[in-house]
Amino acid sequence: MRAPSKVNLHLGVDDLRSDGYHELTTVFQALSLSDDVRIAPAGSLAVSVHGEGAAQVPTDRTNLVWQAAVRLGHLAGRAPLVEIEIEKGIPVAGGMAGGSADAAATLVGLNELWSLEMSRDELADVAAELGSDVPFALHGGTALGRGRGEKLLPVLSRNTFHWVLALAKEGLSTPKVFGELDRLRENGDPPRLGDPQELLQALASGDATQLAPLLGNDLQAAALSLNPALRRTLRAGVEAGALAGIVSGSGPTCAFLCGSEDDAVEVSAELSGAGVCRSVRTATGPVPGARVLADGRH
Active-site residue set: 6, 133
Q: Which of 11, 13, 39, 65 binds ligand ATP (CB under 6 A)?
A: 65
Q: Which of 14, 15, 21, 58 binds ligand ATP (CB under 6 A)?
A: 58
Q: Shortest approach of ligand ATP to residue 26 CB, angstroms? A: 11
96 among the known binding-site residues?
yes
133 forms part of the interface with ligand ATP (CB under 6 A): yes
Residue among 168 and 264 whose Cβ is closer to ligand ATP = 168
User: Can you say how many angstroms the Cα of residue 270 is from the centroid of all Cα atoms in its chain?
Assistant: 24
> β-strands 22-41, 142-146: how paired?
antiparallel
Q: Shortest approach of ligand ATP to residue 73 CB, angstroms? A: 17
Q: Shortest approach of ligand ATP to residue 60 CB, angstroms? A: 10
Q: Which span sits near ligand ATP by CB under 6 A: 13-21, 89-97, 135-143, 200-208?
A: 89-97
Q: In angstroms, what CA-CA distances link 255 with 27, 124, 154, 167? A: 14, 27, 22, 9
Residue among 168 and 208 whose Cβ is closer to ligand ATP = 168
Residue among 9 and 202 whose Cβ is closer to ligand ATP = 9
* CB 156 within 8 Å of CB 141: no
Residue among 98 and 109 whose Cβ is closer to ligand ATP = 98
Contacts 24+ apart (CB under 8 A), 51-55: 51/86, 51/87, 51/88, 51/89, 52/88, 52/89, 52/90, 52/91, 52/92, 53/88, 53/91, 53/92, 53/93, 53/171, 54/86, 54/88, 54/92
97 among the known binding-site residues?
yes
Q: In angstroms, what CA-CA distances link 37 with 29, 104, 198? A: 20, 10, 36
Site for ligand ATP in 220-279 (CB under 6 A): 249-250
96 forms part of the interface with ligand ATP (CB under 6 A): yes
245 among the known binding-site residues?
no
Residues 272 and 262: their CA atoms lie apart, in Å, by 16
174 forms part of the interface with ligand ATP (CB under 6 A): yes
166 forms part of the interface with ligand ATP (CB under 6 A): no
Return residues touching ligand ATP (CB under 6 A).
56-58, 62-65, 86, 92-100, 102, 133, 174, 249-250
